[in-house]
Structure formats: structure tokens, C-alpha cells
Amino acid sequence: MTNTANSERLFQAALEMMPGGVNSPVRAWGAVGALPRFIARGEGARVYDVDGNSYLDCVASWGPLILGHAYPQVVAAVSRAAAGGTSFGAPTPGEVELAQVLRGAVPGLEMVRLVSSGTEACMSALRLARGATGRNLVVKFDGCYHGHADSFLVAAGSGVLTQSIPGSPGVPENIAQLTLSLPYNDLERVRRAFKDHGGEIATVIVEPVAGNMGVVPPWPGFLEGLRQICTDAGALLIFDEVITGFRVARGGAQALYGIKPDLTCLGKIVGGGLPLAAYGGRRDLMSQMAPVGPVYQAGTLSGNPVAVAAGLATLKALEGPGFYEDLEEKGAWLEKELMKAAAQVPVTLNRLGSMMTLFFTAGPVTNLEEAKKSNLKRFSKFFQGMLEEGIYLPPSQFEAFFISRAHTPEDLELTAAAARRVMSRL
């Protein structure tokens, strides 16, 4: 058995001082019946815990680290920026440069605003959608996660789903009532919602490839249908590309599927592992944000120069030819090998490029209800077995695992070999 004495000691101390011993719920590993490992450092595709164990990391800080840990150019950019002062509360040149890079890459972004977390990006986009339409209802989808703002904690994914919390106390009933949560991939239900409430719906917000109930790609026609319904009803379409932006393609899912949302939320990769996110979209809409327009949103650390430097260095490194083709090739290989390893176990593997989830159900998994048919006990055993083999997977069935540029073919072979051994014991 792996020695985890230092992690255990730290976790005991943390439990005394922080709720669940953590600063974000899924890190507590409650769903997989294990104690979290405290990470001392990361390099490339690997993380090292405080007991000196090393793991091949497939969590990637839940998505941001598409280059792996401590990517030299990112570290250099961060050091350089920090040495020049960490925050000014005034405009800096890097913000202009990053806005240019984002706009050049993501088709729907005519204007953009930088914020500090995906939660903030989604919350702000929703406020803008309500402000611009003068309507209050929001349509979201079961199992999608858009951060922890009040309006989104209705049938939410990610940690909310992992902990089996249907919503959250503290969200007033009359706020929750403004959110309609519908099954993913079900256009008929969306049409019905618009028939009943069309004039009151401000926006439809969607993860264009769902990642927070595990990976669930959109059915052909689903995103196109949402686009059409929103356009017809005068509602705004928000793509929450906090995971998919710069992950499934440089221009995100909207570039991949050729659909232009009215507003887009970005996070994770765009901050290169530092707290940075963004929202943006049509010029006429973004022009309603303060100080030009009346919709208010602000942030002391928004566009922070150190985070901007990390984002710029990261996005620059993704520019190389064949970057996404390489990730796709690695993803396809691992998918094939994991499916072979699971030949005797009922599983469904959903994958888009370098994000994938192995659901422990015969499937198919096209929405939350089907994702929830997964055998969570079996997932926990798989997770623990893989961890013992030195492969660090997300500690929840309802999350994506990510392949980074740092994963070598040898790393993937190690992962597949571990999966073969663990699966044979399930």
C-alpha cells in the first residue's frame, strides 16, 4: 500500500479549519471513499504528493493545464510579470494583447471582458443577458455546471452532482424559480419551454460539449436547434466554453460546430493555471456593460497582469501546427485501449478530443439521467485501483479526464496497462 502519512496528517489539520478540509468540494474525495492526496508539486504530466508518491495526472487542475504542469514558457512569463508588480488596478498592455488573442481565436467574441473565475464569467453573462433583453428566465440543462452563482445551482453538475445535492440552501426559492433546467440533448423540451414562456426567457445557457456530468457531446442538430429557437424568440444563446474553449479546438466548440452564440464564457485554459476567465460576444451586447452601458460588473483583480501573462504564454503555445490533431490522436488511442481493457465490464466511453469520461454503465450516455445509471461503486473501485497504480483520475464519475500535451505515448501506455490490471479485478 502507498504511504500517505503526510497527506493524512495535513487532511486532519485541514478538517479542523476548513469545511471538509478543502477549498472546493470535489477535492475532498468524498464520492470515492478515499482521503485526498496533498500535492507538493507538478511537472509535465506528473504530480508529486507530500509523501513522495508520483502520479500521472489526468485531472489537469480540472481542465486548465492543457500543456501540463510548470510549462517552462508559462513559468517564465509568470515570473517576469510578478517581478514587475502583481497588481495595479489600472489597465496594462497584456490585457489588450490577450483580448486580441481571444477575439482572433473565438468566432463569437467581438468584445470581451476579463474576470477571475468561470463562475464570475457565467454570472456576468447572465446578468448581461437579462439586462439586454429585459427578461428574467434562464434555460439551462440538467447536469451542466456554470459555476456557483445562485441562478445556476438548479440541477447542476460537477461537485453539486457528485455530492448529490439537488440545489443549494441559501438560494432563495424565487431566484431558483427563474431557472428552468431541462434534459440535455432534448430540443423538444426546449421548444415546449419556449411555447409556454417564450416572451420571458432571457437566455439559454449551455455547455456546448457537456463536461460536468462527465463528458456528453451534443447530438447532431442540438446546438443548431438552440441557435434557431433563441433567434426566433429574441432570447440570447450563451455558450459556456469554460472547459471547451481552447480544449476541443482553438476556437472552442463554436468553431468546431460552426455555431455562433450571442455570448461566450471562457475560463480554465485561458488563464493557464492562474485565476483568469472571460466573457464576451456581440459588440451591441457588450456595449451595455459599465462603464459604457448600465449593466454593472467589476473586479479588483480582473485582468491581473500575472494571470494575463500565464494566459498569453499558454495560448501562444497552443498555436503550433498540429497541436489539436496530436491531442485527438492521443485521445483516440486511449479511448480504444480503455475500451479493450473494459471488454468484460459494462462501460460507455464518451470522448471529444482530449476530454473523456468512462461511465460504468452499458449506456448510451446522452444526458444526466443516463449518466446517473453509472455504477458508482464500481467507479470508486476503478478510481482507487488506478490511484494505487499511480494514475490520478478525477475523483468522481461525473467529471472529465483530460489529456495534455505533456502526456507522452509511454504515459498513455502506462495508463492503459494500469486500466487492464484494474479492470480485471473489478
Catalytic residue list: 145, 240, 268
- Comparing CB distances to ligand PLP, the nearer of 213 and 327 is 213
- Comparing CB distances to ligand PLP, the nearer of 194 and 359 is 359
Residues that bind ligand PLP (CB under 6 A): 117-119, 122, 145-147, 207, 211-212, 240, 242-243, 267, 277
- Comparing CB distances to ligand PLP, the nearer of 22 and 416 is 22
- Comparing CB distances to ligand PLP, the nearer of 375 and 397 is 397
**Axis-axis angle for helices 187-197, 222-233 (nearest 10):** 10
> C-beta of 273: minimal distance to ligand PLP in Å?
12
Alpha helices in 84-208 (DSSP H): 93-105, 118-133, 159-162, 173-176, 187-197
> C-beta of 22: minimal distance to ligand PLP in Å?
13
Give the integer Cα–Cα distance in Å for 242 and 307: 16
Give the integer Cα–Cα distance in Å for 121 and 297: 10
Bridge partner residues of 205 (DSSP):
238
> C-beta of 372: minimal distance to ligand PLP in Å?
19
Give the integer Cα–Cα distance in Å for 330 and 267: 24
Q: What is the CA radius of gyration of the chain?
A: 21
Q: Which of 277, 252, 253 is nearest to 105 (CA)?
A: 252
Report which residue's Cβ sits closest to ligand PLP. 118
Q: Determine the longest span between alpha carbons in the chain, in angstroms.
A: 61
All residues at 6 or more sequence positions from 227 whose CB lies less than 8 Å from its CB, including other chains: 237, 259, 260, 261
Q: Which of 307, 275, 312 is nearest to 24 (CA)?
A: 275
What is the helix, strand, coil percentage profile of the chain, to 5?
Answer: 45, 15, 40
Cell triple for 195: 411555447
- Comparing CB distances to ligand PLP, the nearer of 2 and 24 is 24
> C-beta of 400: minimal distance to ligand PLP in Å?
9
**Axis-axis angle for helices 323-341, 409-424 (nearest 10):** 20
> C-beta of 142: minimal distance to ligand PLP in Å?
14
> C-beta of 240: minimal distance to ligand PLP in Å?
5
- Comparing CB distances to ligand PLP, the nearer of 7 and 124 is 124
